[in-house]
Amino acid sequence: MSSRALPIALIILSAGCLVAVWHMWALAPAEPPPDAVAISPAPPVAATAPEGGDAQATPPATPAPVFCPVPTRYAGQVVSNRVKGFPDKLLALTFDDGPSTTVTPRILETLREHGARATFFQLGSAIAANRDITRRVFAEGHAVANHSYSHPSSASEESAASELERTATLIRECTGHEPELFRPPYGITKGNLQRAALSRGYVGILWTISAADTDRRATAETIATNVIHTPNPGDIVLMHDSAGHGDTAEALPRILEELGAAGFRFVTVPELLDAWDKWLEADGGPDSRSTPPG
């Protein structure tokens, strides 16, 4: 190559690279980002304080959004039991009826401090008033799920569809993802809401442990005790983060600390379902066990 040809060749090469880079950028999917769709491993567990009590020395990891798709076999099914015999000490904490400005941020802070993830079954009416909090819930690695718009105990077919769709639209706007999980208000599984949700492919998620934090006599102490004394690996825990549930926020650090010290890790419901199925597959199938949906 002559001395004049070399710079010309470099210019052509550089232009080609720029075109290639532009092409990659233009073709890259804007939504969702690649690292948001990966099924990530369970979060780092910071629930056990380092030896020597110098927990202050290690700041909690920066939380990040995680979107773990629900295994497809659960679509249109109801989960109301854990998998019997599931050995991994995973718990799915769930918070209903939020987001609220008073309780949800306290809960998020505690979850962050302990490297814990959870699932929030939110009301459309509450999201509409607190969109920033729903955005924060998702941005900090938690799952956002549909709990209807206005928490009715019953609904006509038409209003059931509206309750689901209005809430789904708000969740989609705040998280960029279609909600996949639904929990019927009051756990009522026989009504139009649950039927409409299942027919749309939602997974109906009930719970296997209740913190009983809606009991009028509940205190932070009783709420913590209700959760700490009963879990088995794979349990789904019912709690609330609507206004007035300050006791739940107060109970959460003790729950995370004591169960974390007992070896439990806190994951979202989709992560739990995924872990159940991986275990069932690896262990030779469901023959000898009752398997959800159940």
Choose between 46 and 103: whose C-beta lies nearer to Zn ion: 103
Site for Zn ion in 156-185 (CB under 5 A): 185
Choose between 96 and 247: whose C-beta lies nearer to Zn ion: 96
Site for Zn ion in 185-214 (CB under 5 A): 185
- Spell out a b/e string for 88-113, using b for 16 or more CB atoms within 10 Å of the CB, else e: bbbbbbbbbbbbbeebbbbbbebbbb
Residue 177 backbone phi and psi in degrees, to 5:
-130, 150
Q: Measured from the CB of residue 114, what is the shortest distance to Zn ion in angstroms?
A: 24
First to last CA, the chain: 73
Tell me the β-bridge partners of 94.
Answer: 119, 238
Q: Report which residue's Cβ sits closest to Zn ion.
A: 96
Q: Measured from the CB of residue 157, what is the shortest distance to Zn ion in angstroms?
A: 21
Q: Measured from the CB of residue 242, what is the shortest distance to Zn ion in angstroms?
A: 8
Choose between 97 and 163: whose C-beta lies nearer to Zn ion: 97
- Written as one letter, the residue type at 32 is P
Quick check: 235 binds Zn ion (CB under 5 A)?
A: no
Site for Zn ion in 12-31 (CB under 5 A): none
Q: Mask of contacts with Zn ion, 90-129, x by CB under 5 A? A: ------xx--------------------------------
User: CB of 115 within 8 A of CB of 61?
Assistant: yes
- Written as one letter, the residue type at 19 is V
Residues identified as active-site: 96, 240
Choose between 46 and 236: whose C-beta lies nearer to Zn ion: 236
How many helical (H) and strand (E) elements, i.e. helices and strands, does the chain have?
10, 9
Distance between CA atoms of residues 204 and 192, nearest Å? 13
The first and second tokens of residue 253, run together, are: 């650090």
Query: Which residues of this chain interact with Zn ion, rule CB under 5 A?
Result: 96-97, 185
